Chain A
């Protein structure tokens, strides 16, 4: 799991993090313990797990908000440590973008396009370059018509798309979504999910940290965290069909997978599937349609 011989875009070896200082005696309470993971360039990975499993800590480590307590974290060939220069830190911030849960707390400006311009402005891009980036980022999240709007008047899903555009304008290589859809309605959630897919198609590494298995099912790979350790990783099909594993770690499978499970209990011999389309095909085939 740890050393596959490949060098990924983000790579951790024995990565541990504790929010508390080392106690005088007794064991250290770790939020993450000896995590070994590799995220390849252009991959779409979902990280799932129940509350306090260490998911968000992982995201904070990847975006350099916190520093590893021990272990190794390599992002695009740079080892994260306190010795990184300001310029190197800035470069990693540019390459690894974050979209947070609450859109209200990550929008800085009072006009959509000015908010999106915030990243490139900080990077010191010339005005015409900023304009180009803002326009293309707006197009990527299909909000071109809202360039002059006030974020306060947009819906949750639209605000979150503005936040994504703000990250895109920095031309990142990887975007981490830290429960970005948790506060959205179904339509906003679907829009954000579609954007994640399109980002992956553009070659951007997408890491989606989520509670929602329907979202996880759409990733290329799933990582399950529990108690600060990696419990399992694999394709959505393998992971989400493993009823025993999911039950053990308090994860509820997507509804369509649950349906297949129930049908299997009734004696139907069905292959496993995780997305609605797949499951529909499986059931249709079984019914001889």
Chain B
């Protein structure tokens, strides 16, 4: 009955990036994003590309899978490119001019840089988070990073628990949905043909039973959790202790060094720089 449902894009392996502490990876993602926006010259973009390729290599995730995530944003890439080509004010003679559009050399460079930036951003953050960190680890890491907020009364543990349980129940509820759909089909509901509105309406006959069953599950789960001594996050320990290891700091250092490198390379005004 239960199929494998891969949440997000987690690619199980045991690379350096997989083994790195989840919290560190969240921080590194921020560093990486900043790095992408620090790049302003051809030289620094070259470094960024090299570094991103290095990340792909270090994660042991096949390049084909990584490029899949780029496919999803291809429209955004094209949009960014076109927008920048046509709407970058430039100096000197326009290369191309028609109606209200003027294409300058600056515009082409900038369009190229901006799309490239988004491209690296998606691959880099994907590698650091979705591909190498399991959803459960992400939840734990976010909880751990946000823990200081609980001091000012934000129920961090409860939110993390909610997220955790939501993840846990996705396969269960999808099984439920499938069973209900089969049951309704046997009663003559048609989900796959007919006008679109009719098909959408027929989904109501799945959603309502699904709601009812998930509420019942929630109720039973709450009782089961209470019976297993759950009483919120207070005093709760963990089987797996998150520990920031020396290697995590090495990775952080590499990231910071590359970030510094991009800033330095911004000084090389070869080609074009923003």
Taking beta carbons and an 8 Å cutoff, which residues of A are in contact with B?
63, 65, 86, 90, 93-94, 97-98, 100, 102, 104-111, 113-114, 117-127, 130-131, 134, 152-153, 166-167, 170
Contacts and interface: CB of A to CB of B under 8 A. Distances in A.
Nearest to A87: B231
Contacts of A63: 227
B239 A104 contact: no
Interface string B68-99: 00000000000000000000000000000000
Contacts of B172: 104, 152
Shortest 7 CB-CB contacts between residues of A and residues of B: A106-B224, A117-B239, A105-B220, A122-B229, A98-B227, A124-B235, A119-B228
Given A86-B231, A93-B228, A94-B229, A121 B236 contact: yes
Interface in B159-215: 164-165, 167-168, 171-172
A106 B221 contact: yes
B136 interface: yes
A68 to B, nearest CB: 17
Chain A interface helix/strand/loop/mixed: helix
Given A104-B172, A110-B167, A152-B171, A134 B229 contact: no
A114 B239 contact: yes
Contacts of A109: 136, 164, 168
Contacts of B230: 118, 122
A25 to B, nearest CB: 32
Given A102-B220, A105-B221, A153-B2, A123 B226 contact: no
Interface residues of B, number: 28
Contacts of A86: 231
Interface of B: 2, 4, 136, 164-165, 167-168, 171-172, 217, 220-221, 223-231, 235-241
A205 to B, nearest CB: 16
A65 B223 CA distance: 7
A90 B229 contact: yes
Contact of A97 (B136, B220, B227): B227
A100 B217 CA distance: 12
A119 B229 contact: yes
Contacts of A113: 239
Contact of B228 (A111, A124, A130, A170): A170
19 contacts: A63-B227, A100-B223, A100-B224, A104-B217, A105-B217, A106-B224, A108-B224, A108-B228, A109-B168, A110-B167, A114-B136, A118-B228, A121-B237, A122-B229, A122-B231, A127-B237, A152-B171, A167-B228, A170-B229
A134 B239 contact: yes
Given A104-B217, A108-B221, A152-B172, A126 B237 contact: yes
Contacts of A131: 239
Nearest to B161: A108
Given A104-B217, A108-B165, A123 B229 contact: yes
A35 B118 CA distance: 70
Contacts of A170: 228-229
Nearest to A103: B224
A122 B234 CA distance: 8
B2 to A, nearest CB: 5
A134 B240 CA distance: 12
Given A114-B239, A152-B172, A93 B221 contact: no
Given A105-B224, A108-B225, 8 more contacts: A65-B227, A90-B229, A100-B223, A104-B172, A114-B239, A121-B236, A124-B235, A131-B239
Nearest to A167: B228
Contacts of B235: 124
B175 to A, nearest CB: 8
Contacts of B167: 110
B2 A127 contact: no
Contacts of A114: 136, 239-240
Contacts of A107: 168
Nearest to B230: A122
A143 to B, nearest CB: 16
A166 B228 contact: yes
A119 B231 CA distance: 11
A11 B95 CA distance: 92
Contact of A110 (B168, B223, B224, B229): B168
Contacts of A153: 2, 4
B168 A127 contact: no
A118 B4 CA distance: 24
B7 to A, nearest CB: 9
Nearest to A63: B227
